[in-house]
């Protein structure tokens, strides 16, 4: 909200939509902080000196929104919220409901993709207003919505399969891991408890992540398929690895400086 970004999120005549907590907590906060740490470590390799990383969620989200600021005078954001090119104002950058209550996402911005999108709907560009005729967008959106409502999500997937129209199904968490694209890319992994989660990204070709702790396997980098650790589960092992004695660890625990996942530590 303080970064200004929230004022841009939402549909016409509705309240701004909070983007869960992905923008501030994770993108503007966590990712920006991690990037700052990496930059500081890289600089240390030449200077040999450390420094403070000033990471703020508000500043991080504001910086993430640089595109919005820099494109204000290009016509992208000249209209009120929900009436612009990328904020559900455009009928070709929208989410549509299918006959079975599911959804299809459309991102056919470029003319070549838009043309394929129109054909997939069974329409011809000759019978429609110009793609960028903003005054006709509400009417076009209603027309597209009525067409999408006539078929199931599976039927639309079949129609747009292999076509460069930027039309894709909105997948639920239950369906995402079994989707062909994600299966081929190995985008999701399953742990030994059967829980599915996203595979760590990005993946480096020459130096993939390799477990560095002796507690973990030294095999080539494959994401761990073990369950997530409990908070404090490996406190003792890690402190021993870093040179603390069992007596020092016991004192830290008794002074409530550190915690363990079990009522009694194995000291």
Which token pair is 174? 């239950």
| Nearest C-alpha neighbor of 6 from the set 76, 57, 71, 78 | 57
Task: Identify the sign of the CA torsion 132, 134, 139, 144.
Answer: positive
Question: Rounded to whole angstroms, how far apart are CA atoms 121 and 160?
Answer: 9
DSSP-derived pairing of the beta strands 167-169 and 103-107: antiparallel
Task: Write the Ramachandran bin of 168: left for phi over 0, alpha for psi from -120 to 50, otherwise beta.
Answer: beta
Which token pair is 213? 């702790």
**Which residue in 13, 25, 100, 228 is the catalytic one?**
25
Which class for 181: exposed (0-12), middle (13-18), buried (19 or more C-beta within 10 A)? exposed
Query: Inter-axis angle of helices 32-47 and 57-64, to 10 degrees?
Result: 100
Active site includes 25?
yes
Question: Rounded to whole angstroms, how far apart are CA atoms 32 and 34?
Answer: 5
Task: Identify the sign of the CA torsion 121, 124, 125, 128.
Answer: negative
Question: Rounded to whole angstroms, how far apart are CA atoms 95 and 108?
Answer: 11
Residues forming the active site: 25
């Amino acid at each position: 909200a303080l970064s200004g970004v929230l004022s841009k999120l939402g549909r016409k005549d509705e309240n701004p939509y909070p983007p869960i907590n992905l923008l501030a907590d994770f993108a503007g906060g966590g990712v920006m902080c991690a990037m700052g740490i990496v930059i500081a470590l890289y600089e240390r390799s030449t200077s040999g000196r450390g420094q403070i990383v000033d990471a703020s969620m508000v500043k991080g989200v504001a910086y993430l929104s640089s595109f919005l600021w820099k494109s204000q005078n290009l016509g992208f954001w000249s209209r009120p919220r929900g009436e612009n090119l990328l904020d559900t104002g455009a009928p070709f950058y929208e989410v549509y409901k299918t006959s079975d209550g599911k959804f299809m996402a459309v991102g056919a911005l470029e003319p070549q993709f838009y043309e394929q999108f129109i054909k997939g709907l069974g329409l011809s560009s000759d019978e429609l207003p110009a793609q960028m005729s903003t005054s006709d967008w509400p009417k076009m959106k209603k027309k597209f919505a009525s067409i999408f409502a006539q078929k199931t999500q599976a039927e639309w997937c079949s129609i747009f399969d292999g076509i460069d129209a930027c039309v894709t199904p909105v997948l639920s968490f239950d369906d995402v891991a079994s989707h062909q694209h994600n299966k081929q890319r190995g985008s999701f992994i399953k742990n030994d408890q059967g829980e599915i989660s996203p595979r760590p990204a990005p993946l480096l070709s020459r130096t993939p992540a390799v477990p560095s702790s002796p507690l973990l396997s030294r095999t080539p980098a494959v994401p761990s398929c073990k369950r997530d650790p409990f908070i404090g589960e490996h406190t003792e092992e890690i402190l021993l690895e870093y040179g603390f004695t069992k007596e020092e660890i016991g004192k830290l625990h008794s002074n409530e400086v550190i915690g363990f996942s079990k009522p009694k530590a194995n000291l």
